[in-house]
Copies of this chain bind each other. A is one copy, B any other.
Amino acid sequence: MTQINKQWRIAARPVGRVEESDFDWVEEPVPALQEGQVLVRNVYLSIDPTNRGWLNETRTYLPPLPLGSVVRGTGLGVVEASANERFQPGDRVMGLLGWQLYALNDGRGLTPVPELGVPLTAHLGLFGHIGLTAYFGLLEIGQPRTGETLVVSAAAGAVGSLVGQIGKIHGCHVVGIAGTDEKCRWITEELGFDAAINYKTESVPERLKALCPRGVDIYFDNVGGPILNAVLSRINLRARIVLCGLISQYNNAGSPVPVNLGALLVQRARLEGFIVLDYVPRMMEAFPHLAQWYMQDRLKYRVHIVDGLEQAPAALNMLFDGANQGKLIVQVSDEPG
């Protein structure tokens, strides 16, 4: 039986927000399985800010995709057929499955989904790259100490919301920056952040001054841009800035942004880039802690599911509009029974 694949391929390099015209929707039969190959049916696609950078012509931490390629994306799926002894039909796997219903893979890019007794979507979030990003980015680069002040941007986002909570667990004074009053209420009232700033309606410099009376020791930056400079003007001696993302810049990738380097110099502060791929081999250090905090209800977490592969381009724009509430996932097909 030949399955019909559905794919989003890159038709043009997007400028700014993505448009449907930047993609081609292709339906065609899945090629026959070759020796060593695995056929995976995609169930969930993770939609992350980094996906936008992957569409550009410039190299990021992964090579650029040629025009005409299936859009790169992290997915979680189920093995439908296998000519590879490492995988059996029914296995649940993760990897760069791409924006498509079926992925043919030689097996080297597939990771078995560990049995953690959590919802499948959690493997794309708290118990996946999102949780690892928050855990290692904050603890390894940010190095929080009790009593320090931690500021988090995109604080209601998948990563930011975890970073703030892990900061609280480590005894920090945590201030989150988000884009709606609802998000600000959620991170303070539900997640236990000490304070929140709505950067769309409030003056970030003034609010930082009021809410961080002892200055800023750690800034977990997901956005770059003017908010970075507002925080830099409040940093303490030997502050650590975790450069985890530059969502404000992805739509015009590559153009240098103004940074108050004088503050970094004078405060002997450190600004360090972080990519979660480097820490994937250490995931089993993080998961027991994340699981424990999750069980203790000290780490809360929400998922925003968009239904249908057809919606993937629109879902990507939601991230940049701040329209999602929690970890954004596109459901491509039904969960295995």
Contact = CB atoms under 8 A, between A and B. Distances in A.
A268 B261 contact: no
Contact of A274 (B253, B268, B272, B275): B268
Given A268-B273, A270-B270, A258 B261 contact: no
Interface in A220-250: 224, 228-229, 243-246, 249
A278 interface: yes
A273 B278 contact: no
Contact of A261 (B59, B60, B256, B266): B256
A245 B261 CA distance: 10
Given A269-B273, A271-B270, A278-B268, A259 B262 contact: no
Given A249-B261, A259-B259, A259-B261, A272 B271 contact: yes
**A interface, how many residues as a size bin?**
20 to 34
A257 interface: yes
Contact of A266 (B228, B256, B273): B273
Give the one of A59, A259, A270, A278 with max B CB within 10 A: A259
A264 interface: yes
B259 A256 contact: yes
Nearest to A268: B273
B265 A243 contact: yes
A241 B71 CA distance: 34
A246 B61 CA distance: 28
Contacts of A259: 256-259, 261
A146 interface: no
Contact of A272 (B255, B258, B268, B278): B268
A270 B267 contact: no
A273 B267 CA distance: 7
B273 A272 contact: no
Give the one of A224, A243, A254, A262 with max B CB within 10 A: A262
Contacts of A243: 261, 264-265
A260 interface: yes
A142 to B, nearest CB: 13
Contacts of A228: 261
B269 A265 contact: no
A59 B234 CA distance: 12
A315 B151 CA distance: 43
A258 B252 CA distance: 14
25 contacts: A59-B266, A61-B266, A228-B261, A243-B261, A243-B265, A244-B265, A245-B265, A246-B261, A246-B262, A246-B265, A249-B261, A254-B262, A257-B258, A257-B259, A257-B261, A259-B261, A265-B273, A265-B275, A266-B273, A266-B275, A268-B272, A268-B274, A268-B278, A269-B273, A270-B270
Given A60-B262, A256-B259, A268-B273, 20 more contacts: A59-B266, A60-B266, A229-B256, A245-B265, A249-B261, A249-B262, A256-B260, A257-B259, A258-B259, A261-B271, A261-B273, A264-B271, A265-B274, A265-B275, A266-B275, A267-B273, A268-B272, A268-B278, A270-B271, A271-B271
